[in-house]
């Protein structure tokens, strides 16, 4: 049976089916993979009707996620994802499930600090954006790429701490998922772009400028307020409480967080809130304002000389 080999987040990934969104590796990588993705012959328990992704069960090294209309993922030991699809499953949706929730949980199991956020690289430092779904994370990343900055991620901001406790971000696979208006803004062509899933106006968009190695995290901007564009500093505890809801596994309530070393996650979150500048970016959600927002943040980065 064919096996497929890819790299993602600095890890080797082996899959029972093709994952064309990822960078392919020579088949020689098979057998040495850090992560394997397998199909399970059993039929999914997920309902045929679309539902939000939810956590059905969680233990220290085992998480069961269910997505109605798509299937189940069993994520184990930070090294294996078992996929059960619903009948007549949509393969695009299964891959979305794996790349988002699946890898988000798996990387968390590996002890990485995984935030739901996007990121870009400016002068070899990462600027991250954390926000609720639909608040403009991908759009911010697209805007910075449009201004010649490097792409880091549009969904999972994966962080580890180096020997000096400095937060480092591991770049994601070089693909963004953009809504139609942002796709056009970013120079994509709606007629030739592929939809992330049939029936929704969100498109895959390949990125040219991609970081290869982990890059230090400089700032995190919280996107939770609209108004005339400016940047607000946050008190240290405000910074921490801003980051906590965007820990990737927080999307499943407390079930996964509580079962997977909450004390360890808490320590990483507090370290991050101390080691990175955490600020609130107030802006208008107007695509024509994006160049001004990019300028605002570029200026903010230049005025901050406190982090090396």
Partner 1 sequence: MDNNINKNSLLVASKNLVATGLNSDTAESVVILTLQDGIYYELKGVAVRVWELLQSPQSLQTILDIILSEYEVNAEQCESDLLSLIADLIRRNLVEFVNNN
Q: Which residues bind partner 1 (CB under 8 A)?
A: 235-237, 239-241, 244, 254, 257-258, 262-263, 266-267, 270, 273-274
State the nearest-atom distance from the C-beta of 267 to partner 1, in Å: 7
Nearer to partner 1, 19 or 278 (CB): 278
State the nearest-atom distance from the C-beta of 242 to partner 1, in Å: 12
State the nearest-atom distance from the C-beta of 264 to partner 1, in Å: 9
Among candidate residues 59, 57, 82, 61, the one with its CA nearest the CA of residue 72: 82
State the nearest-atom distance from the C-beta of 239 to partner 1, in Å: 8
Sheet strands (E) in 162-200: 167-170, 175-179
Nearer to partner 1, 204 or 270 (CB): 270
Among candidate residues 36, 102, 72, 98, the one with its CA nearest the CA of residue 256: 102
Distances (CA, A) of 244 to 131, 173, 266, 272, 273: 11, 24, 9, 10, 10
Nearer to partner 1, 144 or 257 (CB): 257
3-class SS letters over 5-60: EEEECCEEEEECCCCCCCEECCHHHCCCCCEEEEECCCCCCCCCCCCCEEEEEEEC
Nearer to partner 1, 238 or 298 (CB): 238
State the nearest-atom distance from the C-beta of 241 to partner 1, in Å: 7
State the nearest-atom distance from the C-beta of 209 to partner 1, in Å: 36
Nearer to partner 1, 30 or 244 (CB): 244
Among candidate residues 121, 113, 138, 132, the one with its CA nearest the CA of residue 273: 113
State the nearest-atom distance from the C-beta of 248 to partner 1, in Å: 16
Tokens describing residue 29: 């990588």
Q: Which residues of 175-213 are buried (b: 16+ CB within 10 A; e: fewer)?
A: bbbbbeebbebbebeeeebeebbeeeebbbbebeebbee
Please count the other Cβ atoms lying within 10 Å of the Cβ belonging to residue 87: 8
Query: What CA–CA distance (Å, rounded) separates 81 from 117?
Result: 22
Question: Which residues lie below 8 Å from residue 306, measured CB to CB, with a gap of 6+?
Answer: 277
Nearer to partner 1, 15 or 273 (CB): 273
Question: Which residues lie below 8 Å from residue 87, measured CB to CB, with a gap of 6+?
Answer: 43, 48
Nearer to partner 1, 16 or 244 (CB): 244
State the nearest-atom distance from the C-beta of 169 to partner 1, in Å: 22
Nearer to partner 1, 135 or 240 (CB): 240
């Amino acid at each position: 049976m064919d096996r497929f080999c890819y790299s993602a987040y600095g890890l080797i990934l082996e899959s029972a089916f093709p994952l064309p969104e990822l960078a392919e590796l020579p088949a020689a990588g098979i057998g040495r993979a850090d992560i394997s993705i397998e199909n399970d012959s059993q039929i999914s328990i997920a309902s045929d009707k679309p539902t939000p992704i939810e956590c059905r069960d969680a233990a220290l090294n085992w998480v069961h996620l269910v997505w109605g209309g798509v299937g189940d993922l069993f994520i184990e030991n930070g090294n294996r994802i078992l996929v059960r699809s619903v009948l007549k499953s949509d393969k695009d949706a299964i891959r979305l499930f794996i790349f988002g929730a699946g890898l988000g949980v798996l990387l968390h199991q590996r002890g990485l600090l995984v935030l739901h956020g996007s990121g870009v690289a400016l002068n070899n430092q990462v600027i991250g954006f954390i926000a609720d779904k639909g608040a403009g994370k991908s759009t911010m990343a697209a805007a910075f790429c449009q201004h010649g900055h490097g792409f880091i991620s549009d969904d999972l901001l994966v962080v580890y701490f180096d020997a000096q406790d400095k937060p480092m971000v591991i770049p994601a696979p070089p693909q963004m998922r953009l809504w139609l208006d942002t796709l056009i803004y970013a120079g994509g062509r709606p007629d030739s772009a592929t939809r992330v899933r049939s029936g929704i106006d969100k498109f895959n968009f390949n990125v040219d400028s991609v970081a290869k190695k982990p890059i230090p995290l400089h700032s995190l901007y919280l996107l939770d307020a609209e108004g005339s564009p400016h940047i607000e500093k946050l008190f240290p505890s405000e910074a921490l409480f801003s980051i906590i809801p965007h820990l990737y596994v927080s999307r499943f309530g407390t079930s996964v967080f509580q079962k997977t070393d909450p004390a360890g996650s808490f320590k990483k979150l507090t370290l991050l809130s101390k080691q990175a500048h955490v600020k609130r970016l107030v802006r208008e959600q107007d695509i024509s304002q994006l160049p001004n927002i990019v300028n605002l943040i570029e200026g903010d980065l230049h005025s901050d000389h406190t982090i090396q």
